[in-house]
Every structure is written in C-alpha cells, then in structure tokens.
Chains A and B, each alone.
Chain A
Amino acid sequence: MSLFSPTAAVSYFFNYFLMKGVLVTIGLTVAAVVGGLILGMGIALLRMSSNPVLAGAARFYIWFFRGTPLLIQLVVIYSGLPQLGIKFSVITCALVGLILNEAAYLAEIVRSGFMAVSAGQREAAWALSLSPWVTFRRVTLPQAFRLMIPPLGNSINSLLKATSLASVISVEELMRRSDMLMQEHFQILEVYAAATAYYLILTSVWDAVQRRLEKHFGRSSAAKTRRVAASAPVAQASAGARA
C-alpha cells in the first residue's frame, strides 16, 4: 500500500457525493451572509441609537455572540433547545446558528463603517438641505460601504470555513461528507486533500470577487478618502478569528 495515492485524491475530488457537500457549504455561506447582513444592520442601527436600552441590548448581543464559540452555539441550538421543547430541522439549526453568529460580526463592521464617515460629510449634507434619507442613501451609505468591503470580505472568508462546524450537528456539508467518505474507505489523506482543495478554491474565488468589489467601489480613488479609510477603526472589527 502506498503512502498517498494521488489518483484516489483526484477521484474523491470528482466524487459526486462530495460535490453535493460543496454545494451545501456554498448554500450555508450565502444564506448566512444574507441573513447575517440583514440582522447585523438592524443590530448596528440599534447599537448606534441614542436610546441607551436599545444600544445596550445590541451591545449585549454582540458581546455574547462574539464572546462564545460558534461550536457551542450550534450544539446548544441543535441539542440544547429541544430540552425546552424547541426543535428545528438540522439545516435550520445550522442556519440559525450561523446567522446569529455572523450578525454579531457584521454589526460591528457596519457600525465602524458608518462611524468612519466623517461628521463633516453629514454636516455638509444638512447644510445643503438634504433630507435625512438622501443623506443616508447618497452620502453616508456609499462611503461607509466602501470602508466595509475589506472587513466584510474577511468575515465572509472566515464564515466559509466556519460552516464546517455545522458538520458536528450532522449537516452534510463538505466537511461532514468528507468524514463520511473517510470512514467508509479509510483513505484519510486522500479524502481531506480533496476537501482542502475545495476550501482553497472557494476562498480563492471569494478573494477574487472581493478584489473586484474593492476596485469597483474604490474607483473615485480620492486621496482624501484613502486617508480616512486608513485611519478608520474598521480593520479592528474584522479581527478576531472565529473558533
């Protein structure tokens, strides 16, 4: 028996069963990003509100979900909540856990994006009699969004890999299906080589998309804005890898 069989690895790479796991991984990621963004924006708004109760609740949410491992969150939702009579399907559990967790990260990214847009921009908008909605939609949001793209991209990269934790609650995504193949054939290195290749492909594709987005939204390339971006606290929000 050889140490490592490249042909076996290649055949796992093209294994239909594994490919379907890749699609589940992609699906989980996309759903968690969309859900997390919607929820995260809501939490960011609460966090920035002048009402101390709302702001405090949002702060608690962020503190809680960033301060505990995603793994525990998933397990509690999957096996803990049924004890209280709350039961979801496996895939719903995974989505709820991923969205709740991702929202906490994205809320901080959204918030620091808005905080990094200088007060002078809003003041100029007010002085021009722009309505609050136009000020948000045309002045603040586009500038905040541009600052959010890099940390947003990092968070999505990290989420893509974090979906593998859903394997623990038996969601048949890429990681879980690799485990299943491995247990069937005992070709550990070969199976995980294929899985690793898929994760690398997914993260690389996303990197390329992110670069395109950055280029697209950075096209006015104002020297002044770049200085603002460099000094903004946005980068911090994205720091802190997920467990």
Chain B
Amino acid sequence: MQPQLREVPAVRMEAVYKHYGDFTALNEVDLKVAKGEKIVVCGPSGSGKSTLIRCINHIEKHDEGLIYVNGVELDHQRKNIDAVRRDTGMVFQSFNLFPHMTVLENCTLAPMTANGMSEAEARDLAMHFLTKVRIPDQAEKFPGQLSGGQQQRVAIARALCMRPKIMLFDEPTSALDPEMVKEVLETMKKLAEEGMTMLCVTHEMGFAREVADRIVFMNEGRVVEQAAPEEFFKHPKSERARTFLDQIIH
C-alpha cells in the first residue's frame, strides 16, 4: 500500500455532499481509493451506497465537495465527465443490458460509436471479453434469452470492452437466483486478480473477506468505518456496524 499512496489515487472524494430535496444522501464523505485497490462498500439499505458509487461516474451529480478520478476533477464539465466515464465501467443490479440488441451488439456499440473502432475490431474485442466471462457461445442471442447470471456476465464484458481502469459494481448479485451468484462472483474475482481497481457495493461477505483490501461501511449517508476485512468482521468499531453484521451474517 505504501508506494501506491504517492501515485495519483484512482478515486479521491473530499467532503462530498449529495442532497435529494431536504434529504442528505451523502453527508461529508471522504474516500480515497488507490490504483489497484479493491473496496467493498456495505451498509444498511438507504445508507447511500449506490449514491456514492454513482457519483464517481457522474450518473448522480454531487452537490458539494470534490471528486477526482485518476486525477481528473469531476466538476460537471462535459469534457471531464466524459474523461471520467471513459476510465470507469459500471455494473448494475438490474444488468441494464440493451434488450433490443444481441449480446455481441451490446458489447460492440460503445467501442464502435464512442471509440471509433471498426466493426471487425470491436467484434474481436467483444469476443475476447465474452470468452473471458465464459459465454462466447451466447454472442448472437438476445439478453432476454439468457439467465440472470449470464446477463450479468455479459454486462461485465460489455463494460470491459471500453477498457476501463476502474470498475464500479452496484449489488451485482442481488437480483440473481442463489445458484447464479457464484458464477458472477468468480468473474469478479478473476478481474480482481488481474489488478483491476474495484469499488463494489455488495452484501456477499464471503467475497468481501476474500477479495477486498478494505471495507467501507456506510450509515445514513456517512462513511462510518473503514477497515481491512479481517478487522472489520472481527472488531467492528461502531455499534451500527455490529448490528449490521449481526443481521447479515445470520
């Protein structure tokens, strides 16, 4: 960890606030993520986990504070937003695949239109990542013809086709039947092993224990606690984290 700290961090948030009307969804959030670091974000429902990671690629606009992604300040300028989105990939709980396109078209659309890649190049790239998530044989199917687990792996491949430096996951396995959770988590583990910087909202504590460098625990819009998984699970500092862990582990 020590040498990485001198580099530009992958994500740096300073005193970030996000309001929905009178409601404060993010309350003075500070967070620093080093390149290559794997963060698991957890906390009770409504604590601001989704809001946090959605602010990182500006799908949600923060109201106050500073956010830097790979040194680029997210200051609501089109140019910077675009630069940040090119550096980040996102995977959603509900997959959000484009239902009217085949798996392959889902994967080639962004490389072709946003990166000006030729169809052949984009196709090779897509097949490379579809192979990596172990569904190259489904390339010509439509998302609706795949299982949830397969759809989520396509979503991961689709994001990877833009060659992001940071991957954001918002409860990627919460919408899946139990038997499909594993295949998605395996895919994510593989990604982690390859050194991808990852921020992952998840309640999969086994995954967190195994993969995360750090757990970020949120409550009521605040980052309440940050610790290595060992320590977080064994000795949660806050009362709120203790009750949360009690609920989730049983």
Contact = CB atoms under 8 A, between A and B. Distances in A.
B99 A143 contact: yes
A230 to B, nearest CB: 14
Interface in A91-137: 118, 120-121, 123-124, 126-131, 134
Nearest to B57: A127
B47 interface: no
Nearest to A123: B59
A220 B94 contact: no
Contacts, number: 79
Interface string B141-155: 011110000000000
Interface in A134-162: 134, 138-139, 142-143, 146
A222 interface: yes
B176 to A, nearest CB: 14
B45 interface: no
A91 to B, nearest CB: 39
Nearest to B97: A124
Contacts of A142: 100
Given A127-B90, A129-B86, A224 B113 contact: no
A128 B99 contact: no
Given A222-B144, A224-B144, A130 B110 contact: yes
B100 A146 contact: yes
A50 interface: no
A129 B144 CA distance: 24
A212 B88 CA distance: 41
Interface string B48-62: 000000000111000
A220 B59 contact: no
Most B CB contacts (10 A, CB to CB) among A127, A142, A225 go to: A127
Interface residues of B, number: 29
Contacts of A134: 109, 113-114
Contacts of B96: 118, 120-121, 123-124
A47 to B, nearest CB: 24
A146 B58 CA distance: 29
Contacts of B240: none
A127 B88 contact: yes
A222 B105 CA distance: 15
A223 interface: yes
Most B CB contacts (10 A, CB to CB) among A123, A124, A134, A142 go to: A124
B89 interface: yes
A230 B5 CA distance: 51
A221 interface: yes
A218 to B, nearest CB: 9
Contact of A128 (B101, B110, B145): B110
Contacts of B90: 123-124, 127
Contacts of A130: 109-110, 113-114
Given A123-B96, A129-B82, A221 B110 contact: no
Nearest to B142: A220
Contacts of A224: 99, 143-144
A162 B59 CA distance: 45
B140 to A, nearest CB: 11
Nearest to A222: B144
Nearest to B145: A222
Interface of A: 118, 120-121, 123-124, 126-131, 134, 138-139, 142-143, 146, 220-225
Interface of B: 57-59, 82, 85-86, 88-90, 92, 94, 96-102, 109-110, 113-114, 142-145, 158-159, 162
12 contacts: A120-B92, A121-B98, A124-B90, A126-B58, A128-B114, A134-B109, A138-B98, A138-B113, A220-B100, A220-B102, A222-B99, A223-B144
